[in-house]
């Protein structure tokens, strides 16, 4: 019969947790970036003034905010807050 070691199992579980946490962090970051792309596309298509400047500016600032939040690893307040602000500015420019 094969002998099982509890030390190896605990190492595998730690690697599994690290992989899972990295996957969740990447999924959240990708979802937020998709939100920025969606708002930027709305800005490109429907904004009345400065549509290209507003779209690219918001997209670049948003990606930088997401990268900062990924590096900090604590929460997503900066990225989500900037996404809401970008969406409100775009909505005001569209109407």
When divided into structural domains, the chain yields a total of 1
What mean pLDDT do residues 24-52 have? 92
Write the pLDDT tens digit of every residue in 14-24. Answer: 888 989 999 99
pTM confidence score? 0.82
Q: Is residue 15 assigned to a domain?
A: yes
* CA–CA gap between residue 2 and residue 9 (Å, rounded): 14
Q: Is residue 20 assigned to a domain?
A: yes
In this model, does residue 11 exceed pLDDT 80?
no
Distance of alpha carbon 40 from its chain centroid, rounded? 15
Write the pLDDT tens digit of every residue in 40-66. Answer: 999 998 888 888 999 999 999 999 999
What pLDDT does residue 39 have? 95
Q: Is residue 1 assigned to a domain?
A: no
Domain that includes residue 54, residue range: 6-94
């Amino acid at each position: 019969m094969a002998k099982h070691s509890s030390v190896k199992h605990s190492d595998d579980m730690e690697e599994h947790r690290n992989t899972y946490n990295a996957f969740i962090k990447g999924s959240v970051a990708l979802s937020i970036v998709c939100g920025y792309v969606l708002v930027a596309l709305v800005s490109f298509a429907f904004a009345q003034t400065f549509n290209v400047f507003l779209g690219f500016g918001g997209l670049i600032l948003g990606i930088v905010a997401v990268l900062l939040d990924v590096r900090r690893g604590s929460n997503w307040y900066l990225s989500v807050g900037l996404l809401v602000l970008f969406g409100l500015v775009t909505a005001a420019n569209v109407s």
